[in-house]
Amino acid sequence: MDDQRRRAADWFRELQQRITQAFEALEDRGPEDAAAGRFTVNPTERGEGGGGGLMAVMRGGRVFEKVGVNWSEVHGTLSPKAQSAMAARGVPGMETDPRFWASGISLVAHMQNPHAPAVHMNTRMFWTPGAWWFGGGSDLNPCIEYPEDTAHFHDTLRAACMPHGADYYARFKAWADEYFYIPHRGRARGVGGIFYDDLNSGDWEADFAFTRAVGEAFLPAFLPLAEKRMAQTWSEADREAQLIHRGLYAEYNLVYDRGTKFGLETGHNPDAVLMSLPPLAKWP
């Protein structure tokens, strides 16, 4: 399992590099009314010698108002609260050995142009002495929806899922629809995508291959949409709608998001954990 953990962590790091390079290349092709943005990369630490990661953030670019692409590899002992949550999810051995290891990539992009959709993606591997699993997914969050953009995003994810399980797309789309729902608002935060967690089929190689496919599908699913919308004319009303929609995103991530809760409960760098929050938002 040590070799498998190393392979997973290295792949998540490689994916981070490829995505940041692709986003900077998109910035170079963006509207020339501002300087092209560039990522600032800073190391993060979990504390107590528990590993850390690399936080890559771009702010105020031509295309991206704020985008973070974080990689992490952390380890340590789960807090009693996190330990109880894991035990409630059926993770074996939590009562006697609360050690854990986790690595993954987490991405959230908030766009300059209100016609360009915000987007989230993450893939991760989690290990305890009693179990291992993969999780992740990707979902689109437009404030002004274009049905053809939604269709392209979902079609790309469906194609990525099909070689790995005939029912994967339908199962994980339904899971995303449920997971990215905001109960107190009675609505979804976006137009969905796929989400999965606790994936352990018993075949580590197969589950890792699927997780790689999810990560590989992200750029083909999202980049064409961002490129198509980044120079589209927008109004102040469009900007207002964008800021209010970002309020929904912030509410969800602070109240319901499992990754946000886990990161804060396990002592990871709070700036990295809260990277997903938008730079500006409004509430009606």
Q: Rounded to whole angstroms, how far apart are CA atoms 118 and 161? A: 22
Q: Is the distance from CB of 159 to CB of 138 less than 8 angstroms?
A: no
Q: Is the distance from CB of 104 to CB of 154 less than 8 angstroms?
A: no
The b-or-e profile of 102-111 (16+ CB within 10 A means b, else e) is: bbbbbbbbbb
Q: Which residue has the tokens 């437009």?
A: 142
Among the options 120, 152, 154, 245, which is catalytic? 120
Q: Is position 120 annotated as part of the catalytic site?
A: yes
- What three-state secondary structure class fits 83? helix
- Tokens of residue 15, six digits: 């994916």
Question: Does an H or E element contain 178, and which?
Answer: helix 168-179
User: Could you say which DSSP state residue 117 is in?
Assistant: P
- The answer to whether the Cα torsion of 211, 217, 221, 227 is positive or negative is positive
For the beta carbon of residue 185, count every other beta carbon within 10 angstroms.
12
User: Could you say which DSSP state residue 282 is in?
Assistant: -
Q: Rounded to whole angstroms, how far apart are CA atoms 32 and 203? A: 49
Angle, helices 168-179/147-161, rounded to nearest 10 degrees: 130
Of 54, 55, 57, give the one whose Cα is nearest residue 24: 57
User: Could you say which DSSP state residue 189 is in?
Assistant: S
- What three-state secondary structure class fits 248? helix
Q: Active-site residue numbers? A: 120
